[in-house]
Each structure stands twice: as C-alpha cells, then as structure tokens.
Structure 1
Amino acid sequence: MPELPEVHGYKVYIDSTCLHKKITSIDCRDKRLFKKPAADFETFLVGEQLVNTVRIGKYLFIETSGEKVLVMHFGMTGRPKYYKSKEDRPKFGHIVLTFDNDFHFAFENKRKFGWWDLIDDIQEYKEEHGLSDDARELSLDDFKNSLKTRKTHIKKVLLDQSVCAGVGNWMADEILYQAKTHPKIKVENMMEKGIEDVFNAMKKVIEVAIEKDAHYSDFPQDFLMHFREEGGICFHTNDEIKKIQLGGRATYFSPNWQVL
C-alpha cells in the first residue's frame, strides 16, 4: 500500500505535471471510486484548474481554482499517470482528467481500493477524520502527548493515523527496527528515552524513504526492508527475522536486536 513516502512522490509528480491547466473533461469507468455523485465531479472540476497540493499522511489534497478541494486516497495500488496520447491510457486508469493542452491525468487503481472525494476545507476534513499532523511534520511534544494515555503496544500506536498520519505497516516495522524497539512493548512501559528513540527513528525512516523515492532496494544496508521476511537474517545479529500477528497485521522484527 502506498504510504507517506510513496504519496509524497505522487505529490511531487502531480506538482510537476498537472497544475495550472484547465480541466476540459473527466471520465470514470467505475463511479464507486467517487465519494460524491459523479455529477458533482463534473460540476466542480470541469472548467477549473488544479492549483496546489497538500499531503497529510496518505491523503493527497488538491486545491482547485473553484469552490472545492479534491481528495485522493491511493488505496492498495493507486498511483498517478500523466500522458499525451489517448491510446496510452493505463489499463487500470479508471479515472481520467483531460486538460486543455490535450494531456491526460489517469488515476491508476488496479484493485479499486483508492478513491476520490470533494471537500470544502482541508483542516475541517483533518479534524473530522481524526488525522494527526503529517508524520514528517509532527513535533516530539505532540508525539509524546499522543502516547500519554495509550495502553497498547507501540506497533499499534504507530499505525494509528491520529498519532502519526502516514505511517503504515512496513514503515512501523522499519521504525521499530531502527529504534531497537520490540513491537509488543506497551507504551505505558516505555521510558522517555525509548519514546524519543522511536520518534527519531520515524523521522529517519521518512527522510531516507523520501530521499530514495521509496525505492526499497536503495535503502541503507541496515534497513529491515532488505530482509523483512520470516527467516530473513538480521543485519546486526545474524539471527533470523521473526513474523508475528499484532492487531491483525503481519509484523516482522529481530528478537535479539529488538529485545522485549
């Protein structure tokens, strides 16, 4: 699933291709991908321009020259594609905007878990959906405050979008590996330094992933992503990586590196 680094890359891509061009038409092959009636997207997008993008976690908000803000969530397999010829429409480009320069923007969505919405205000949407500040922008104080009343394991907290918006499953595993923190440790049992270690590891993982355009093979050698599988070999201890289920999510860790 696209997580914060991937969606950051999509933001940069859209910024460099799709902004400040008049939308002349919109085509959707599956109206279930719209959170509002299809007629609303025609009304509020056609004739307008995409003028600015704002990313909060895994959500991409695109301000338009009109009344509404377009919200994109990329689901499991979503990604953007800007192209010239109609014949180059991606196979799974279920939603397409056409611009007045005769280029097109496709929202690829193979498994159809991604979606579009139209909203009035980004801040209101953020509050209504319980999103924290984007994990890349999150302060240490806000992170600590969010953890004060938590009584569950740290892995589940990292996946809570009201705590650090944008962190998903692989990122949570990587953050805890970099912080030498066991995924099952309860937040209430963590010392302040341990919480700070997790926070600093989160910032490190985010920046590395963005710098490397979320190309996992380019991550540093000591990143879990290179051996994040059951039976993989830990970079630091040469012991096997273990897999457990936490909160219904597959979780990978190194027991002798991330000691409980």
Structure 2
Amino acid sequence: MSDDTVSVELPRTLVFSPRANDTSHVLASVAQRRGLFTEHLTGWRVPEGFLVGGPAHLYAGPLFADAVAADLGIALLEPPDDWLTRLPYAALRRGIRMLTMAEAWTLRTPAFLKPPNDKSFPARVYLDGTQLPGPDAVDSDTPVLVSDPVTFTVEFRLYVLDGEIVTGAQYAIEGDLDIEPLDGHESEQRVLGFAKDVLREAVDTLPSAVVMDVGLIDGEPTVVEANAAWASGHYAADPERVLDVVLRAAGPSAEAGERDRQFLRPAAERVD
C-alpha cells in the first residue's frame, strides 16, 4: 500500500459581512457559478472553528474588513490616502489637499471634506470646520481630504485591474443616484480615453486592483477619487469583471505581489 497522498485544492471562499447589499448578492451569485464557496458572517468576529474552503477573499465595508481580515488571512489593497493630491490639476480641475482632522476643525471657509479610505464621517460640503464631528467621534490625527467645492454633472465608476479598465458604469447625475451601464453610454469614449491617460501616468501609484471614479465638470472629465474595490458598489458594471477585481483586491496575504505590498491597508488594532 502506497504512503503517497494526493493533495486536493479546495475551492476558494468569498466572505461577506452580515449586511447584504445589491453588490454582495450579485457577487455571491457570480462566485457560486465559478465554483467558489460563499460565506456570510453573522457577527463582527470570525467564529472559532469557522471553516472556509480554500484561501479566503472578502467583500465588505472598511470597518467590518478591519475586524475580520487578519483572522481570515486576507490582505486588503487600497489607494494611498493622499493619492488625489499627487495628481496634476489638469486631472482634477479643482484644488485638493490633505489635512488632519485637527487642522480641518480650524477651517473657516466652505470645502468638500471626506475621509480618504473609510467612512469615519460623511463626505460632503461643509460650511466650515465647526460642522465636522468632534474629537469625541473622530481622532484628531484622522486624515481628511479637502477639496474645492465643484459640481459633477455625471459620475462614473471604473474597475481597474493591472492598469487596465475592465468594466464600469454611470452611478450619479447631479449628485443623485442614477445607474446606467458604461457600455454604449454617450460619454463612454470620452471617459475611457481620459481615464486611460490618467492611469498611464499614475498606474505605479495605485494597487493592481482598484476602483477609480471619474466625473464630468462642464462636460470635461476629471478624477473624482479612487477607492478600494472590496468595499465599492458595482452599480451596472459587469459582475464577472467586478469579481475579478474584488478577488485580487482582497485575497490571501501570501498571494499579495511585491508591488502591491505598499498598498496594503494597515491592520486595525483589535479590541476584545
């Protein structure tokens, strides 16, 4: 009798938070059709004895991802906090700088304020820094992106893998949710051409799997922001391609490429 054993590779598992949304439902269906396991956790801890098939991937919001990623052995890719501030004015069509929350509290003129890679406070135009949440709600060293207020007439979400745009969708008109496929859109070529030019110059400053939003200001395309694909809504983008990007953006730590290690989301301090 031979002592040789045959190693069987188990299917990968895509893990979701307890809070389901349209994108998690769509990604679960696509993942199952591909032969992946899917698991929806029921709490903010990975249960003792929790079993996944093979290596785990994740689709979830930032706070939940911080709570479970380490226990699942998942590396989370995200754009640098100051990524927008590195782009030329021609790509932004507005002034953008990064401050700490303590500095933002001292602002006395209107500005669009947002946390770069989480939802520690609502992203919107504030009349001044006194309207921001106080130190009882947000740490004083929290990074804050400060932008000149502008109006995007139309906004689009683009999924990027290895520097290439693989799918996208319109998601807003005049700031209101309005979902349409990018494929066949009247602005498709203008948006894609602009985004490809931006990525050609900035690809080394972004992780290999990421979401980039583009908006129109007076008919001209501009970068809105870049976001972590593992926490972004897909809107009307191709779910198959969206899943490709999500699996890369939140996958096994051991599989994160050397290039992507500079884009790993810092591990959250765990509180038991």
Band the TM-score falls in, shorter-chain normalisation = under 0.3
The TM-score with structure 1 as length reference comes to 0.25
Indicate the structure with greater strand content: 2
The TM-score with structure 2 as length reference comes to 0.24
